[in-house]
Amino acid sequence: MPQISNRVLNLSPSATLAMSQKSADMRARGIDVINMSVGEPDFNTPDFIKEAAKRAIDENYSRYTPVPGYMSLRQAIAGKLKRENGLDYAPEQIVVGNGAKQELCNVLLAVINPGDEVIIPTPAWVSYIELVKLAEGVVVTVPSGVEEDFKITPEKLEAAITPRTRMIMLNTPSNPTGSVYSLEELTALAEVIKKHDNIMVMADDIYEHINFLGGKVASIAQVEGMADRTVIINGVSKAYAMTGWRIGFMAGPLAIAKAVTKLQGQMTSGASSIAQKAAEAAYDGPQQCVEDMRVAFERRRDLIVSLAREIPGWVVNCPEGAFYLFPQVEGCLGKKAGDKVINTSGEYVE
Ligand code: PLP
């Protein structure tokens, strides 16, 4: 057997991908399965974005790209952050990579030292915990339930902070709960964070456009005094149905952007030239496609919530964003599936 590093042995495989594989296996056996595991828009990438990519090929965007991304794309992202979020970032504070996921990982590797604590409100996206482990950080989870709309309070946050806390990872709208923090709620969390000089926030805003509030989702970077200690993570995957193009970014303090660029320069270099030109078109082009997809997601949210509320034993919140529903299934435990008693939520999912 070849040696596998402890670094990798300590990682858990993605539970989402395991469920997706199980659905695929069942389907291969001829069973009619609806796979509700992996989070991905089912729309095609809008035509004007695809055209920009085709043009990039014809115009020979075929060479290595700058490590942090084309200046024109970083300018387009700075424009988006100003226009949509009211935030001022210079292109030098922005690093583009292979999806939001790479930039999340890069920021953790660039900021976290072994033993540093990272607070993760749970339920959380499965990758957060594993990426913190990869960076040799210590995961501190702060759980909340459906009765709290899966949101943490300032009191819970305060109680989780220790002298070793370096970061809190905040995802709004959230995968997997669909919960959205209001600006007031973010401001209250920020008041706690601001009491501690060394704590920064990773604000994963990737689902900002998929919300059902009739307005914009707030980012904690908008709270006074927070921009300097926040790294925004975002990208084109969800808003523009571009999951396979692999373009995401981080925007934050210059020192962190420089550290991430140094790391990325050794690991992957700049992201795909063609995908970057497509992303630039997405940010600079007409935004109606984003709204059209959002409306479809809202219709589906309404349908799925009403159906889920009819399922005996389930308790669900009404997600205000993203495209997830996270049912509490406690009422189904102790029941039988065939001759097997279901004891845990994991067994219920199986
Ligand atoms: N952040 C969250 C909360 C996600 O759910 C996902 C994808 O599922 C990502 C980041 C990754 O996005 P990307 O496809 O840009 O890497």
The model's pLDDT over 11-53, given as tens digits with 9 standing for 90+, comes to 988 888 888 899 999 999 999 998 888 778 899 999 999 999 9
Pocket test for ligand 1, best of 237, 249, 276, 283 (most atoms within 8 A of CB): 237
DSSP 321: B
Q: Please tell me the predicted confidence (pLDDT) of residue 36.
A: 83
Pocket test for ligand 1, best of 129, 150, 238, 276 (most atoms within 8 A of CB): 238
Close Cβ partners of 190 (under 8 Å, ≥ 6 residues apart): 220, 223, 225, 226
How far is the C-alpha of 137 from the C-alpha of 114, rounded, in Å? 5
Note if the bond before 173 is cis, omega within 30 degrees. yes
- State the distance between the two ends of the chain, measured CA to CA, in whole angstroms: 31
Query: How would residue 299 be classed by pLDDT, with cut points 50, 70 and 90?
Result: very high
Q: Which residue has the higher pLDDT, 126 or 268?
A: 268
In this prediction, residues 269-295 reach a mean pLDDT of 97
Closest CA to 327 of 305, 298, 302, 342: 305
Using DSSP, state whether 33 is helix, strand or coil: coil
- Point out which residues pair with 250 in neighbouring strands: 95, 233
In this prediction, residues 147-166 reach a mean pLDDT of 97
* Average pLDDT, rounded, for the chain: 96
In this prediction, residues 95-111 reach a mean pLDDT of 98
Cα 179 to middle of ligand 1, angstroms: 16
CA angle 53, 55, 59 (to 5 degrees): 120
For residue 298, give the H/E element and its range: helix 288-308
Close Cβ partners of 109 (under 8 Å, ≥ 6 residues apart): 134, 135, 263
Q: Please tell me the predicted confidence (pLDDT) of residue 290.
A: 95
Q: Residue 201 above 90 pLDDT?
A: yes
How far is the C-alpha of 233 from the C-alpha of 104, rounded, in Å? 7
Cα 125 to middle of ligand 1, angstroms: 8
Cα 289 to middle of ligand 1, angstroms: 20
Q: Give counts: helices (H), strands (E), the chain.
A: 12, 9
Cα 299 to middle of ligand 1, angstroms: 22
Q: Please tell me the predicted confidence (pLDDT) of residue 182.
A: 96
Q: Please tell me the predicted confidence (pLDDT) of residue 111.
A: 97
Q: Residue 349 above 90 pLDDT?
A: no
Q: Please tell me the predicted confidence (pLDDT) of residue 214.
A: 87
Ligand 1 within 6 A of 248 CB? yes
At what angle are helices 99-111 and 126-134 packed, to 10 degrees?
A: 40
Q: Is the whole model's pTM more than 0.85, yes or no?
A: yes
Cα 175 to middle of ligand 1, angstroms: 9
In this prediction, residues 139-161 reach a mean pLDDT of 97
Q: Residue 162 above 90 pLDDT?
A: yes
Ligand 1 within 6 A of 204 CB? yes
Cα 215 to middle of ligand 1, angstroms: 22
